[in-house]
Chain A
Amino acid sequence: MSDNNIAERVRGTIYQASLCLDEARWEDWLGLCHDEFYYAIRAFSPEINVDMTYLDGKRADMVTLTEMLPKHNSDNSPLARHTVVYTVDVDEAQQTASAVSSFTVMKTELDGINSHLLAGESNVFLVGKYRDQFRIESGEPLFSERIVQLDTRRLDKGSHWPI
């Protein structure tokens, strides 16, 4: 398979993941991830000059986290990503790839406020980059790592959901 084809598949996988996350289809999202998958949400704080990891875990941790969601009280306002894949680099042996994407997460208010007045309103919730690593197995890319690097640090209510 040509590098271009693999790069195209990597792009497709990133967009698939965005759709799964937008629609809160956690199992489908994790289905795109390798057993060794590692996930982290990070940000740099210019206030305290520290690189911070707001959330991280292996695949099993993300499974536990997403399965626990129905037991938690959450703001259920849907989050929709606008993702653009900027770069995809496939290694020579075509076994791994890495990609950088830019994303904006919009939140459309539903139930985290006075819904009569505010439900339906969309606002920017998060801005940042996805820094993804892939394992390519029989031509199919699987996420082995996703670092969500946030620019946004005024996080207000925050979220229970993977970004």
Chain B
Amino acid sequence: MPARNAKQWEKVPGKLSSGEYVDSRIYSDRDIFEEEITKIFSKVWTPVCHESELPDPYSFRTMTVAREPVLVVRGADNQIRAFLNVCPHRGNMLENRPSGSFEEASPSGAPKHITCMFHAWQFDMKGNCAHISRATEGYQDRLECKDVGLRRLRCEVKYGGFVWVTLNDGIGQTVEEWAGGAFDCMQKSLDAEPLEVFHYHKAIIPCNYKLWHDTNSEFYHDYLHYHNRVTGFNDSYFARKNIGFDNGHVNVGSFEVQYDEYEGFESREELSFPHLPTNHWEMIDFFPGVNFNLRGSALRCDIMTPLGPDKVMIEFRGLGLKRDTPEERLTRQRHHNSIWGPFGRNLHEDLLAVTTQQATMSEWADKRRILHGRHERDADGDPTIHDEEGMRHFYEAWGQWMDRWPGDPELSYEEGQKRKAA
């Protein structure tokens, strides 16, 4: 067909049906974004850091979940706990550093305590209030330590030592239940022995978080990457499939990467993770904004913190085995960073593409159809890696959480389904 006029442009192209595309407004509309924060991000489990970032009793890390500041600490009993990073007195942020230890005294407070620098209220590692400055002078018997503990958050350490947190006390599911089997593909490798984070960097990208999740989920964009064009295109590569799990998670199955095809890249064989066949690759696109990517010798984890309809912070971590020798660690680091580092071959291309993708979807831009209608089968009729089932699975879950139809967000999920059936 020649280039289309406005009316033709608005029509669903070809014979694609509802459910095989989304409306671009889900990537740009401010109300939809606000709804995602309240209906999804403040309700689900999300990994916030790794246990190796809290190496000793009294170690802490700070982060943000669904706009709420969060503080994760390791107690004297070695238990990791999470709290809102908010002082119950006048709402100051309790701890401002990204990481550190409460073992030493802070300028305003005692050792082994979380101290709010403002008026020096102090808390222990379990979140109990331990000290209110001039308490009886000011509050007499109207307010005591027992009334002003920190707000504790549900917290679990799970799947290779990631620290998971939810703001939702009533979530009714453990992390394992929430994962719904999505980790089966790599759990044995992750839990065989302790892991350690060796890489961290962050990016704030002018794109909707779902565009990053889509890009992590769809492999049709192999064409974007020179590295994939030369290492990936073989039968075993195409034989990978997207497998959907409850709650919108997706696993992309294993295949062997032909590293030797890319000049300057060596095989990842000798440092493969435990139980992972050499040079294999497993990936989990975890709902709504996390990605675990175990590729031969290194585990990558992306955690997204949505900041606006067209703004997301992505934290990139690389992990190896805790027992690595310095040489092994350096090799893993090279394997990880040569592709996925901030100066690596693929990451820059992916981030470039989602930036220019969002550039066509500014807040009040015309609505567009963003397609994910590929059903690509191999000779045996099995879906291949370029089938877009992964994205379709994600958007089904998204539609249900939001009670909106992704292909037309003005419709409820049920209305959208009816229209699809019709």
Q: Cβ of A155 and Cβ of B201 under 8 Å apart?
A: yes
Residues from chain A with Cβ under 8 Å of B352 in the complex: 73-75, 112, 157
Residues from chain B with Cβ under 8 Å of A68 in the complex: 226, 263-264, 345
B202 contacts chain A at the CB level, 8 A cutoff: yes
Q: Cβ of B355 and Cβ of A55 under 8 Å apart?
A: no
Q: Cβ of A112 and Cβ of B355 under 8 Å apart?
A: yes
Q: Cβ of B343 and Cβ of A46 under 8 Å apart?
A: no
Q: Cβ of B205 and Cβ of A158 under 8 Å apart?
A: no
Count of chain A residues with a beta carbon within 8 Å of a chain B beta carbon: 35
B384 contacts chain A at the CB level, 8 A cutoff: no
B61 contacts chain A at the CB level, 8 A cutoff: yes
Mask for B311-345, Cβ within 8 A of A = 1, else 0?
00000010000000000001001100110011111
Residues from chain B with Cβ under 8 Å of A64 in the complex: 263-264
Q: Cβ of A46 and Cβ of B345 under 8 Å apart?
A: no
Tell me the smallest distance from the CB of B199 to a CB of chain A, in Å.
Answer: 6
Residues from chain B with Cβ under 8 Å of A157 in the complex: 203, 205, 348, 351-352, 355
Residues from chain A with Cβ under 8 Å of B201 in the complex: 43, 45, 52, 54, 153-155
| B interface: dominant SS | mixed
Out of B226, B264, B342, name the residue touching A158 (CB < 8 Å): B342
Residues from chain B with Cβ under 8 Å of A74 in the complex: 348-349, 352
B381 contacts chain A at the CB level, 8 A cutoff: no
Whether A160 contacts B226 in the complex (CB less than 8 A), given A47-B53, A49-B99, A50-B198, comes out as no
Q: Cβ of A113 and Cβ of B359 under 8 Å apart?
A: yes
Q: Cβ of B200 and Cβ of A160 under 8 Å apart?
A: no
B197 contacts chain A at the CB level, 8 A cutoff: yes
CB pairs A–B below 8 angstroms (30 shown)? A45-B200, A45-B201, A47-B53, A48-B50, A48-B52, A48-B53, A48-B99, A52-B199, A52-B200, A55-B338, A55-B341, A68-B226, A68-B264, A72-B226, A74-B348, A74-B349, A112-B355, A113-B206, A153-B201, A154-B204, A155-B201, A155-B342, A156-B205, A156-B351, A158-B203, A158-B344, A158-B347, A158-B351, A160-B345, A161-B343
Q: A157-B203, A160-B348 are in contact. List 20 more A-B contacts (CB 8 A).
A: A47-B98, A47-B99, A48-B52, A49-B53, A49-B99, A50-B197, A50-B199, A52-B201, A53-B334, A53-B337, A56-B334, A68-B263, A68-B345, A73-B224, A112-B356, A156-B204, A156-B205, A157-B351, A157-B352, A159-B343
List the 3 shortest-distance A-B pairs measured between CB atoms, nearest first.
A158-B342, A155-B342, A55-B343
